[in-house]
Structure 1
Amino acid sequence: MTERLYDVTLDTGGARAPAPELEQEQRVAVFDLLEENHFTLPDAPQGPYALMLGRAGRKLDFRLSTKAGQDAAQFTLSLGPLNQVVKDYSHICESYYEAVRSKPPAEIEALDEARRAIHLEGAGMLREVLAGKAEIDGDTARRLFTLVCALTAQD
């Protein structure tokens, strides 16, 4: 299948390493993303694509190339529309990780459900922000949202 990502690299710009829990989520998201994804670029060379995802100030920087090394697309997206949901997700994750260490299972489960709901909301917003630049499915959006959160957590 050519409408997909075959490689994903995060450009952290030398930022500090994320918390261990976030770093693990990042590794899992990249692994799952490479296992299965749908990523189409309108008016671009045919994929599959390598994605370099980074930050450019208060924007996300997407740089995509083909397996042959040909530039496929480069664009930036404002983090503005995603700021609140990323912040909410970050806070609920902190609460969840703390709860895992010391809280009863019912509280952990409630936080995990809230965490998943916010994550799903963020993935939907990411799909909307990418509209016209890239077409992605829900699973791809969820995994990319995890990577966006990893990049913003390193501020």
Structure 2
Amino acid sequence: MTCMSSTPSRFRLSGISLERPFDRRTNAAQKHEQAVAISDVLDNNRFAPLEHGGGPYRLHLELVDKRLVLTVTTETGAPVLCHHLSLTSFRRLLKGYQLVCESFANGAARLPPGRLEAVDMGRRAIHNEASALLRERLKSKVEIDQETARRLFTLIHLIVSQNTDLRSPAT
């Protein structure tokens, strides 16, 4: 029997799905990072669509015309919200995060621990800034906590990096 209460557990994500990449194939490292990020979000999150009585919820993330589409349903599939989020304000952060992640991966075997830690601190700083921006941009639709926003940014980064070249200039 399920107990109905006003605890935060009613306001959480119970499932996340992502669009399949269409421009490039997902490599094993990206698949692993995606699985870990999804598992981390589902393990502990706060996700409360405004003016909705409670979930748990399922979230589908998809990139459409350079916008992130967030589709939220209840566990039974009832629609809760669909929001198109422009990624323009995230462009600098996505590029910076990509570069720092690549630097960390490339330097893991050859950089001294102090330098590697500095690169990781840079990654965390960008991650924190991006998660704060995500919370700000979603605040009229859904309330999320800092850790949920951080993990969702990781998923957004994976979707965008799988479908675009973050290093190319904007067209």
TM-score by length of 1: 0.93
State the match for 1:81 in structure 2. Answer: 89
Q: Is the 2:21–2:159 contact (alpha carbons within 8 Å) kept by the matching residues of 1?
A: no
Q: Say whether the 8 Å CA contact 1:49–1:66 is kept in structure 2.
A: yes
Partner amino acid, structure 2, of 1:68? T
2:134 equivalent to 1:126: yes
- Summarize the alignment of residues 1-40 of structure 1 with structure 2, pairs less than 5 Å apart: 1-40=9-48
| Residues 85-116 of structure 1: per-residue CA shift (max 9 Å, x gap) | 11100011111100013222221111011111
Per the TM alignment, residue 57 of structure 1 is displaced from its structure 2 partner at its CA by 1.4
Gaps of 5+ in 2: 1-8, 165-171
Please name the residue that 2:3 is paired with. Answer: none
What fraction of aligned residue pairs are identical, expressed as a percent? 36
Distance (whole Å) between structure 1 residues aligned to residue 105 and residue 26 of structure 2: 14
Large movers: runs of 4+ above 4 Å: none
- Structure number with bigger Rg: 2
From 77, 95, 108, the counterpart of 2:103: 95
- Select the residue among 45, 48, 53 that pairs with 2:61: 53
1:47-106 CA-to-partner distances (Å, cap 9, x unmatched) read 110100111111000011111211111111000111111110001111110001322222
Q: Does the 8 Å CA contact 2:59/2:70 hold for their aligned counterparts?
A: yes
- How far is 1:13 from its partner? 4.7
Aligned residue for 1:117?
125
- In the alignment, residue 126 of structure 1 is paired with which amino acid? L
3-state SS in 1 of match to 2:54: coil
Aligned length: 155
Query: Partners in 2 of 1:128 and 1:95 — Cα distance?
Result: 28
What do you get for the CA RMSD once the two structures are aligned?
1.4
